[in-house]
Structure 1
């Protein structure tokens, strides 16, 4: 049974009311997003509030988050309130489509770990389906929002499995957003690529930069130096 909370160096993530718990790839994503110079950040699909809290820790930005699931809304609000930065964290308990109707803000960073299973069979857990499947939050909704509300020099960050990441890159061009950078995340050295962290901008690029991150060494147990460096400010064990 997953722990009801996950303790980081500067904040705690309570997660007993959320379908999707803290996981390694989400932590990689939150640590990788370039947020230090940002003034306004939006997290689409906040879940527990993990990503918003991670970027709040290493920036002075106002960090807003949108979340549709009632349980996750309660959880994220609690985690924001109990963090060291409650005055800079704001939760919008509504679908992105509703938030977009009244939003007038421009964001330096928009980030999302969106529902990504386009064709997989759904489970009997409705909350987990909402968190993992694209039925309530389509890629086009994210792109339409970013096209309107991402600052001219801003960046849109996504965390997706490789196949879905490639699909997103293809449809992003129709919204004048172009893949600038990809971090390929592998379970271990020589192992499987499980996620792509993608960065999009309004500036077309001839060739997107591709980087790699191995979470563990070949033995499948020992964390790599790159992973430790990325998560050092967050994980208690480092």
Structure 2
């Protein structure tokens, strides 16, 4: 059985189109989670690793806070039933669910979700399909997991605006080129948004470099649904320094990776 072990949970990845990867772990460790979120959504969950990382961080953030009325919820969605089977298994075994946190899965495309049926979310997280211009993979399941044919950037923006609460956030990781395209789309919509109407605004951006001498390979981005543009926090992350994992990368992922 194929699996990946973290410090506090194990991920079964027997059937999922996309296995545990650096992008997903980076996003799960980097996204802002205060513990105040009551409803969270993981889009394109795959094995469920990001949803479970969010659960671990949410539980940890609430250990020193007063008990709230009613549990928080994390919903993990995907369009691939085999991936969702792995996610459901992993969620059931993760050990973070209880009176204060509930988790579930659903087989549904993000753009087909309805605020009337599913409610609205404080946080939407996604390690989305990408490689817009690359050739399709031979395997259809893996191809759908890696390409934007099934969920384009415009659809992601529209669905996020529809499903986020006021002040809610959407976080994702993209290759640098696709990140630039997404920011261009967001800026275009910002400029044309009527005054007083909420739209997505960039609030955090981290450019991820494999080494200090290489250009950024990935962009970690966080957006907020607001009628005002916030001050943006810009950072960079270098994964490898002098042939070893960098201190900043180890610090970011230390709660998860066994060897850190």
What TM-score, normalized by structure 1, do the two folds share?
Answer: 0.91
Q: Which has the larger radius of gyration?
A: 2
Alpha-carbon shift at residue 86 of structure 1 (Å): 4.1
C-alpha distance 117-103 of structure 1, shift in aligned 2 (>3 A): farther
Structure 1 residues 75-114: aligned runs within 5 Å = 75-87=86-98, 88-100=102-114, 103-114=117-128
Task: Please say if 1:218 is aligned against 2:217.
Answer: no
Alpha-carbon shift at residue 196 of structure 1 (Å): 0.4
1:184 to 203, 207, 210: 207
Residue 25 of structure 1 aligns to a residue whose secondary structure is helix
- d(CA) in 2 for partners of 1:123 and 1:145? 26
Residue equivalent to 2:43: 44
What TM-score, normalized by structure 2, do the two folds share?
Answer: 0.84
- d(CA) in 1 for partners of 2:21 and 2:219? 15
Alpha-carbon shift at residue 98 of structure 1 (Å): 3.0
Equivalences, count: 234
Task: Please say if 1:146 is aligned against 2:150.
Answer: no
Alpha-carbon shift at residue 24 of structure 1 (Å): 1.5
* Post-superposition CA distance 1:23-47 (Å, at most 9, x none): 1122111001111322211011100
* Post-superposition CA distance 1:134-172 (Å, at most 9, x none): 111122222112112212111110110011011111222
Alpha-carbon shift at residue 94 of structure 1 (Å): 1.7
CA RMSD of aligned residues (A): 1.8
Query: In the alignment, is the contact (CA less than 8 A) between 1:92 and 1:99 conserved in 2?
Result: no
Query: In the alignment, is the contact (CA less than 8 A) between 1:189 and 1:218 conserved in 2?
Result: no
* Post-superposition CA distance 1:74-106 (Å, at most 9, x none): 110111111102452110112223333753412
Any unmatched runs of 5+ in structure 2? 60-71, 191-198
Alpha-carbon shift at residue 114 of structure 1 (Å): 0.8
